[in-house]
Amino acid sequence: MPRLSSLLALAAVPLVLAHSNHQTADLTAEEIANKDAWFSKYGKTGDLSFTGVTSFAHLPHVRCLDEPGQELDVAIIGMPFDSAVSFRPGARFGPFGIRSGSRRQTKIRGYSSVTGINPYQSGYSVIDCGDVPISPFDPSIAIPQVADAYASLLSRKVPNATAFEGLGFAKGLDGELHPRVISLGGDHTIVLPILESLHSVYGPISVIHFDAHIDTWNPKRYMGSLSPQADINHGTFFWHAYEKGFIKPGANIHAGIRTRFSGPEDLQDDVTAGFDLIHTYDLDDMGLEGITRKIKSRVGNGPVYISLDIDVADPSAAPATGTPESGGWSSRELRRIVQSMKGLNIVGMDIVEVAPAYDTNAELTSILAADLVYDFLNVLAGGVDGRQIQEKTAVHEEL
């Protein structure tokens, strides 16, 4: 312990010595424009957690759709669409809310004591690509907009392919490496056009679906078939993905399910659509290990898409969502399950159904959603394993 306090004292020295006269405003305009002068006087340049224009985790922001030459390793993109929901609207503000919830994340302070890595400094770039300008008026326009935007991002060159190859990431059917995109929803319907775009690059893919609801409802049983467009909504999109052949038969799984159903026929349709199911209560009986094992054995080694509806979390942790259901996983339980997804061949991820208007003033939902994106980035970067945690513990014991 004495060594710990002496280390802390040493760490503070450069800031104290940096400038002896803190009470005087003596930098010229030229010096302020020169980052070094500002740094040597005040010890910090750039954004603080609570300052600056809000990109995800203060990452570089590029409007990628307007910049076709922009190369991408990992891209974060907002999909502000909520015109196909059954209950509370508002997820069009989800990307805004999640970015706001991410403000305490930064590249220079991104090291995880759990995974032993900093996913913002893992040899490849993470860029906030802004939002897709999605029509709020007509889902028959909005859905192809999502597909076109996603396909555009997937088509970009991957500048740091070697960092990816070390992680064993799958290539597309064309033999090329494609960017990994993390989408911020938006209501869950956006996943249908996302799967369409991914399918055209990888062929049929498996889905790991965290949600309180199955979202494989056959539209004929789900409020009837009023029009082709009304059939495609946030409760039916996986049924369409199954019918269109975007997802691999028998290699998909839900986790966290607990809603009510019309009857057993809903669950029969779910099996037809190719899904297995982990109930929210299974955590009590199977534990983290059992859930992880069941998910991984279901999806295997092929390309996997992870879709996370924030309503999978208990409403006490994530009240700001369109169709909350009591009895969900705590934020700690959910984050551990998500962190355990390391090692899968992940081709894309999303967090959907964050509707910030229903959040607490403390931004509980937005902060959880942003932290889950951080967990996604850790999983992509190959973090989370027991050995790294032990090494971290050893460092701690040395101090």
First-to-final CA distance of the chain: 7
Query: Which does residue 188 bind out of ligand NAG, Mn ion, none, counting CB within 5 to 8 angstroms by kind?
Result: Mn ion
Task: Report the candidate in 119, 292, 287 with the shortest Cα–Cα distance to residue 210.
Answer: 292
- Please identify which residue in 81, 120, 124, 150 interacts with ligand NAG, judged by CB under 6 A: 124
* Angle at the Cα of 250 from the Cα atoms of 190 and 87, rounded to 5 degrees: 35
Nearer to Mn ion, 188 or 258 (CB): 188
Question: Which residues 160-189 are close enough to bind Mn ion by CB under 5 A?
Answer: 188
Ligand-binding site membership of 254 (annotated): no
According to the binding rule CB under 6 A, does residue 160 interact with ligand NAG? yes
> Site for ligand NAG (CB under 6 A): which residue of 83, 112, 125, 307?
125
Between 251 and 352, CB nearer to Mn ion: 352
* Cα distance between residue 159 and residue 125, in whole Å: 8
For the window 275-314, what string marks contact with Mn ion as x by the rule CB under 5 A? ----------------------------------x-----
Closest to ligand NAG by CB, 159 or 203: 159
Tokens of 59: 């990452």
Nearest-angstrom CA–CA distance, 318 and 367: 9
Residue 307, interface with ligand NAG (CB under 6 A)? Answer: no
Stretch that binds ligand NAG, among 119-127, 179-187, 242-250, 364-372 (CB under 6 A): 119-127
Contact of residue 125 among Mn ion, ligand NAG, none (CB under 5-8 Å per partner type): ligand NAG
Ramachandran class of 208: left when φ > 0, alpha when ψ lies in -120 to 50, beta otherwise: beta
Tokens of 117: 């890595």
- 215 annotated to bind ligand: yes
**Span of 104-112, 116-124, 139-147, 213-221 interacting with Mn ion by CB under 5 A:** 213-221
Judged by CB under 6 A, does residue 167 bind ligand NAG?
A: no
Positions of E strands within 47-94: 74-79
Chain centroid to CA 69: 24
Which of 268, 255, 189 shows the shortest CA–CA distance to 221? 268
Helix (H), strand (E), coil (C) string for 83-101 = CCCCCCCCHHHHHHHHHHH
Beta strands in 125-251 (DSSP E): 126-131, 180-185, 206-210
| Interface segment toward ligand NAG; rule CB under 6 A; list 24-32, 54-62, 118-126, 131-139 | 118-126
In angstroms, what is the minimal distance from the CB of 124 to ligand NAG? Answer: 5
Which residue's CB is nearer to ligand NAG, number 77 or number 352? Answer: 77
* Closer residue to ligand NAG, CB minimum distance, 117 or 320: 117
The site that binds ligand NAG (CB under 6 A) totals a number of residues, namely: 5
Contact call for residue 350 and Mn ion (CB under 5 A) = no
Residue 385 annotated as binding? no
CA distance 290 to 285: 9
Segments in 28-91 forming alpha helices (H)? 29-33, 35-42
In angstroms, the CA 194 to CA 197 distance is 5
Is 62 within 8 Å of 130 (Cβ atoms)? Answer: yes
Bridge partner residues of 127 (DSSP): 75
Residue 211 as a binder of Mn ion (CB under 5 A): the answer is yes
Residue ranges for the known binding site for Mn(2+) are 188, 211, 213, 215, 309, 311
Binding site for ligand NAG (CB under 6 A): 123-125, 159-160
